[in-house]
Structure 1
């Protein structure tokens, strides 16, 4: 029988694994040398040392004076994923998604909190190098919750000299079934196993895992970064309380192509918006042809210039306004949301007819906002530009739209080439009137 050329040979599981607590360590203080403290742990070649991140934070001086964690959590948070009451799930600048941005008020002196280490992979590399000539692996661990399960478990937040993942994709199981998605997080499994002898209250911050020498590598390796899922692969990137704020105006796009299916999912969100009289006032024209995009934008530009000249604007002022619309030309994908008045009521009173149209305009805006938010959830950036509203005849003609379709702007869509600018701070109280 010939082996599948795509499969990778995997080591047989070891006959015996030992997990040994490292006891007798002193209270760790800022400036302490962790490797020196662990030199007497009786390490052998092939051992894996699992170190609780708290003592790393203490040794590295990652201690802050604080009566509570609130300010420290905000400072350590790059992105809030979810929030309920005082509980905050956030992404740290390291890329970890965890409770309270990893800020911990336990096992530290009253009035202080511990922050995560600056770079746990780097710490693991330094400790490993200092323990030479012993060939050992080092894992820095911390406690994480899981979104679909009760209880906490330890995971790796740093590693060196340990194979981080085992990839079974391309192989087959014992029944001959192909494996297409199986990648085992080895360093997380080791970190969780080591916690069984460390515990939360026993005062044992370090454990030695023995019997997995086949996972200890000659080089330091990629560390925990190999386990962090990129944003565009994260199906659960935004929590329900975070998702509205995920929508940001993006004006610089990369050349990476846009998945049309992702845009169609955004359209599905757009048409879920509320509308008057049980109508469906939204239509989305997806301009996927590059040639059509160029013709559309040229036609819009020419119509806009003609209007501005007719209004007496100077050529300098016209050029400045035209440059603002370049975001549409730089995007690899365009959508043109349109308003249709099908199902609207007609009244003898023009005042009521005007209000009827306003109702449909508001409903279209709600649909476009849903569309923009879902684009962000799909990992796409966008910018809603109102230019098509100033040249509707030209847009209808070039795109072959019915006279009853009113273009309500154009949405530039793509992958952001640069992070969006920070939002200007706004106090909701400034926008509220209570009676």
Structure 2
């Protein structure tokens, strides 16, 4: 049953929330789609009357994907979904980017037929589409496009110097994205950011934003860790993403040569797991190194984690709040990460909830330490688990969102 305009029935007393996000939410698959699922599910359990508009770009999302989500989330008279598709929601130019006018009209029509009391949107595309709506808005933002696009361009130039010629054009395109953020967020009642570093970025732009840990579930099971005969570290996540791209430069070019001096060739292992493929230059370097095992996507990540000393997260790019760290925390696996990851997640504290290092020599020292002191490593992993449980678990993170939504409904502005 589709949720029409406000009625005079029992459901009329329920606050009506227009929810909008990109992709099809799923409880376990993906990155943003996972947290979107748990946020949506929490709003449903709270008893709001919700219409969830899914923004589906290109051919990445099938009708079967939508049907699966519909089967999971729709509740008659309380929660329904609508779909707006576009080949490309934003067409990027050198100086300006343009929103798909046809998709915008479809979105606004779905919103008008629902008559919401408040609008909750996830990320910049949804925020741009929702801009004309007069209702009070809460905007949640993940990684900022004007940052991630720039860093991808920078690494492309690092990996292939001929691409440095494109950096001025990339810089202009990122500025165009920044202007779109400013336009989309003008007049918004509440801005939440998933990365703590974004608070300072927006402050410089005159926008007040609040950092909130996002919901990240612990899937699978806890597997008891057995003694590990060789120093073994897990490098996992989306292998095509900016985080992995950043980390591979440090691992392959600086860290591995130093570790060979400490443990010898083949004296340690780095297990590489996740969706996608590492870049060609990284694959070529790994092919000649016996210390790497490329495992692809691993179904039983719990057993794999139990076979490792720590999760290796040398992501030097200073953006984002890394879900791979949260996954490791949720499984009580020690985390060894670049100190820049703490810019996005301030709960990462060296020697308390994780091992942190800022360069290859620091990583080597920390790896030696955590292998030599398993009891200390277990204590650090336990504190990481408690942070995940108390802040990033779907329960507490969902409660925080509901609190913000209720404040938006009541007119509270930060």
Asked if these proteins are the same fold (TM beyond 0.5), I'd say no
- Whichever of the two has the greater Rg, that structure is 1
How does the TM-score come out when normalised to structure 1? 0.24
Is the helix fraction higher in 1 or 2? 2
